[in-house]
């Protein structure tokens, strides 16, 4: 049975569940009053909603206390973020909110995304079931009723998609709902956010709801949550653990812990804790604290590959750690720049990072050379394995960069070789410095990589994401093992590092770099080289 509206075949089966568009209805007085109340307060709408429960079948939606509070917060605030336990009724709550919003707000566009398209379809399906079970007088008519979208006769439209960059391309959303946001792959979530968030926040009334169970710390959901808690963004937070879900008690928790087979998983899914991998190199308790310390860079340059948190200060000492990739899109070429604040006791601070997996090794060598020069002739620790060999050779022979630190005889063994003994030494030194608070990390990507940097069977590697910034970091701190500072620097009374006079003489070497020799204190040389290094 097909119905025709406005000449188009919509293939909608109109029946007692799906109402025809613009169908006339004689409202009774109490219905008009009820409609007005529902419009004002979402909680007045809830008693009319029925949900389909897997065991109990169709039931009246009797919201849990937290759901009532959450729905009211959705109604009141433009930006909401929810950190909620597994199977706590979160998708149901956002579904109810989307339905209420659609009925009482004409001419709107509602976008619902989930980590997978199938989950997004399931949300719409559940929303349709709720719609179909509403009393007739409360229902808008339906103009379109598809698997990926619904349009009501008040011209409000609900669309669904997987959370990808292309989701809702070109559409201006009035309400955007992101379910299971922590489970969207990091880069996809970033692209989706970059494509959609600016237009939504630019409009004064548009709303965003982001909800998820936590899924580790290296994702956009975690970032939004942390910023919200710090008051760095406009999102209102709601946290719901298993205790707030009716029917769950200590006995349930005990059983669930057995079923899941891991305290870690239980803590993540039911205590809603942001956990890193089990075997992270950095103590998980320390990670939990430092991972929230990310800062916005002072300068982002070279097409988003260079992040500067602090420009070089006169008289300060810096160290570069370098890990080199092929430049073909796999491993990243990475540079970490640390300020050596004091040597006794050791105090270091991350001031800049560079990472790019598309820069060729020759350009990368030149960039490393310039960065080392720019940061007060910083000592430069370069891993010489594989592609790194090109970098050390160019730094030494081509650029005559005497700040390159060499572990062996200068001509034969330039740079640092990662071996079974040097790598663990460097990693453990980095671990110790981070854990005892001697090394401050502020870069978001570096912190992310630390949360997935693990030791398994004697090997160190990034489990869920790359670890190239970490390699650059442990080589940078490894400079402390080289005993060069004792020879090259004197200490001020407060333990801070003072450069010796003769260090200045090295500047003469840089005379050969005529293109950057002038105005090198001026950051514009980086702008000039954007095309070269941007990749």
Ligand X SMILES: Nc1ncnc2c1ncn2[C@@H]1O[C@H](COP(=O)(O)OP(=O)(O)OP(=O)(O)O)[C@@H](O)[C@H]1O
Nearer to Mg ion, 61 or 373 (CB): 61
72 is a contact residue toward ligand X (CB under 6 A): no
114 is a contact residue toward ligand X (CB under 6 A): no
Residues near Mg ion (CB under 5 A) are 91
Preceding amide of 449 cis, omega within 30: no
Report the SS3 class of residue 82: strand
C-alpha of 408 from chain center: 40
Binding track, positions 177-216, relative to ligand X; x by CB under 6 A: ------------------------------------x---
Nearer to ligand X, 162 or 454 (CB): 162
Spatial separation of the C-alpha atoms in residues 242 and 310, rounded to whole Å: 43
Nearer to ligand X, 82 or 327 (CB): 82
270 is a contact residue toward ligand X (CB under 6 A): no
Spatial separation of the C-alpha atoms in residues 288 and 291, rounded to whole Å: 6
First to last CA, the chain: 58
Q: How far is the CB of 116 from ligand X (least distance, A)?
A: 12
Torsion of CA 253, 257, 259, 265, to 10 degrees: 120
Which among ligand X, Mg ion, none contacts residue 252 (Cβ within 5 to 8 A by kind)? none
- DSSP for residue 398: I
Nearer to Mg ion, 91 or 317 (CB): 91
Spatial separation of the C-alpha atoms in residues 200 and 241, rounded to whole Å: 29
For every residue of 405-452, DSSP letters joined together read --SS-TTTS-SB---TTHHHHHHHHHHHHHHTTSEE---HHHHHHHHT
Nearer to ligand X, 44 or 360 (CB): 44
53 is a contact residue toward ligand X (CB under 6 A): yes
Report the SS3 class of residue 59: strand
Using CB under 6 A, which of the segments 56-64, 146-154, 283-291, 344-352 binds ligand X?
56-64
Using CB under 6 A, which of the segments 1-9, 83-91, 136-144, 259-267 binds ligand X?
83-91
What are residue 150's phi and psi, to 5 degrees?
-135, 135
Nearer to ligand X, 83 or 382 (CB): 83
Spatial separation of the C-alpha atoms in residues 138 and 103, rounded to whole Å: 8
115 is a contact residue toward ligand X (CB under 6 A): no
Q: How far is the CB of 260 from ligand X (least distance, A)?
A: 13
58 is a contact residue toward ligand X (CB under 6 A): no
Which among Mg ion, ligand X, none contacts residue 53 (Cβ within 5 to 8 A by kind)? ligand X
Q: Are 280 and 451 in contact (CB under 8 A)?
A: yes
Selected from 80, 88, 157, 451, the binder of ligand X by CB under 6 A is 88
Q: How far is the CB of 244 from ligand X (least distance, A)?
A: 12
Q: Which residue has the tokens 């948190």?
A: 309
64 is a contact residue toward ligand X (CB under 6 A): yes
- DSSP for residue 16: S
Which among ligand X, Mg ion, none contacts residue 130 (Cβ within 5 to 8 A by kind)? none
Interacting residues with ligand X (CB under 6 A): 51, 53-54, 61-64, 67, 86-92, 213
């Amino acid at each position: 049975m097909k119905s025709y509206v406005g000449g188009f075949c919509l293939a909608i089966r109109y029946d007692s569940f799906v109402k025809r568009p613009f169908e006339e209805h004689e409202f009774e007085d109490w219905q008009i009053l009820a409609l007005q109340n529902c419009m004002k307060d979402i909680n007045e709408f809830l008693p009319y909603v029925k949900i389909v429960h897997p065991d109990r079948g169709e039931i009246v939606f009797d919201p849990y206390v937290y759901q009532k509070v959450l729905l009211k917060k959705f109604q009141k605030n433009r930006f909401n973020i929810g950190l909620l336990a597994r199977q706590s009724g979160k998708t149901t709550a956002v579904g109810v909110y989307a339905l209420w919003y659609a009925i009482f707000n004409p001419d709107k566009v509602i976008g619902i995304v989930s980590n997978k398209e199938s989950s997004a379809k399931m949300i719409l399906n559940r929303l349709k079931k709720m719609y179909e079970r509403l009393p007739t007088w409360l229902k808008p008519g339906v103009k379109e009723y598809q698997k990926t979208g619904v349009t009501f006769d008040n011209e409000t439209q609900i669309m669904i998609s997987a959370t990808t960059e292309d989701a809702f391309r070109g559409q201006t959303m009035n309400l955007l709902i992101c379910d299971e946001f922590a489970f969207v792959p990091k880069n996809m979530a970033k692209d989706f956010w970059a494509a959609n968030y600016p237009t939504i926040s630019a409009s004064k009334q548009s709303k965003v709801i982001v909800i998820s169970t936590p899924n580790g710390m290296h994702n956009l959901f975690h970032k939004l949550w942390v910023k919200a808690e710090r008051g760095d963004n406009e999102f209102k937070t709601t946290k719901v653990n298993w205790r707030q879900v009716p029917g769950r008690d200590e006995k349930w928790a005990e059983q669930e812990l057995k079923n899941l087979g891991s305290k870690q998983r239980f803590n993540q899914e039911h205590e809603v804790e942001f956990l890193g991998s089990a075997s992270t190199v950095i103590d998980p308790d320390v990670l939990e604290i430092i991972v929230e310390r990310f800062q916005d860079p002072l300068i982002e340059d070279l097409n988003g590959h260079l992040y500067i948190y602090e420009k070089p200060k006169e008289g300060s000492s810096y160290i570069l750690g370098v890990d080199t990739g092929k430049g073909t899109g796999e491993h990243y070429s990475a540079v970490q720049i640390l300020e050596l604040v004091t040597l006794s006791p050791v105090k270091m601070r991350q001031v800049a990072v560079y990472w790019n997996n598309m820069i060729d090794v020759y350009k990368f060598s030149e960039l490393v050379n310039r960065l080392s020069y720019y940061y007060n002739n910083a000592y430069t620790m370069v891993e010489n394995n594989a592609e790194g060999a090109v970098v050390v050779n160019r730094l030494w022979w081509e650029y005559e960069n005497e700040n390159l630190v060499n572990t062996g005889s200068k001509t034969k063994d330039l740079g640092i070789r990662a071996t079974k003994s040097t790598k663990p030494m460097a990693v453990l030194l980095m671990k110790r410095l981070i854990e005892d608070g001697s090394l401050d990390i502020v870069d978001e990507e570096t912190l992310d990589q630390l949360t997935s940097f693990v030791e398994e069977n004697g090997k160190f590697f990034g489990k869920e994401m790359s670890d190239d910034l970490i390699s650059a970091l442990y080589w940078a701190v490894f400079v402390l093992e080289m005993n060069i500072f004792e020879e090259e620097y004197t200490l001020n009374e407060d333990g801070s590092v003072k450069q010796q006079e003769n260090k200045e003489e090295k500047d003469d070497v840089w005379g050969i770099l005529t293109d950057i020799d002038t105005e090198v204190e001026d950051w514009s040389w980086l702008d000039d080289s954007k095309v070269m290094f941007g990749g």
